[in-house]
Amino acid sequence: GNSVTQMEGPVTLSEEAFLTINCTYTATGYPSLFWYVQYPGEGLQLLLKATKADDKGSNKGFEATYRKETTSFHLEKGSVQVSDSAVYFCALSRGFKTIFGAGTRLFVKA
Amino acid sequence: GAGVSQSPSNKVTEKGKDVELRCDPISGHTALYWYRQRLGQGLEFLIYFQGNSAPDKSGLPSDRFSAERTGESVSTLTIQRTQQEDSAVYLCASNYGGGKSGTGELFFGEGSRLTVL
């Protein structure tokens, strides 16, 4: 079946550090891939998405590239800020169901 | 409304009681989803409604859980005879329906936090 695996957290970084959160998936066919973010006290919201192989999704300085050959969709940001502290969820959508990874909590220290 | 609205935001109940959680999706969204998020864990799919089609109930963990949706509007998730392991945040999301290609972004409510004592 379809599944999403993302790196366990928490991840703790200093401000301006480089961020990578790994995400790999298992799916039949060609799913769409997403990163959602959950800021403290808020609901989940879409951060970025990619709908086909080699697409790059980007938003708020975050990027992720749909790599079909490695079935990956790693999230990166060149310089994190304290305000990026949140839980990040990798997800795939195939048909009507969206499947989420377990989430990775990011702490950014000033 | 402008976003997905859920109520109550917090519910504390005693073991064995029934609870109802409500979700009001974004107007015009034909698809509605319920997920469960246990503390420190990912989102667990519960049930999916698409228009007037039969719902996908494949994620409901037991027959104590049920959900209804009236047309393309409000949905109610009911948990009967609550157990302590039901304690979680219950999230509702809606969208226009991803279709077979599954490209649809989900719009989430802020969730209903259920605590079963």
Q: Give pLDDT tens digits along chain B (117 positions).
A: 579 999 999 999 999 999 999 999 999 888 999 999 998 788 899 999 988 888 999 999 999 999 999 887 899 999 999 999 999 999 999 988 755 444 578 999 999 999 999
Q: Nearest-CA distance from B44 to chain A in Å?
A: 8
Contact present, A72 and A23 (Cβ < 8 Å) = yes
Q: Do B106 and A42 touch (CB under 8 A)?
A: no
Tell if the CB–CB gap between B42 and A45 is shorter than 8 Å: no
- Determine the Cα–Cα distance for residues B84 and B87; give it in Å rounded to an integer: 6
Measured CB to CB, residues of chain A less than 8 Å from chain B are 30-32, 34, 36, 42-46, 49, 51, 89, 92-103
Q: Which two tokens stand for residue B6?
A: 């859920």
Residues A44-86 pLDDT 10s: 999 999 999 999 999 999 999 999 999 999 999 999 999 999 9
Q: What are phi and psi of B31, to 5 degrees?
A: -105, 140
Binary contact (A95, B98; C-beta < 8 A):
yes
A5 to chain B, closest Cα gap in Å: 11
The whole-angstrom separation of Cα A39 and Cα A29 is 32
Q: Do B98 and A34 touch (CB under 8 A)?
A: no
CB atoms A95 and B100 under 8 Å: yes
> How distant, in Å, are the alpha carbons of A12, A21, B18, B33, B95 from that of A80?
11, 12, 44, 32, 30
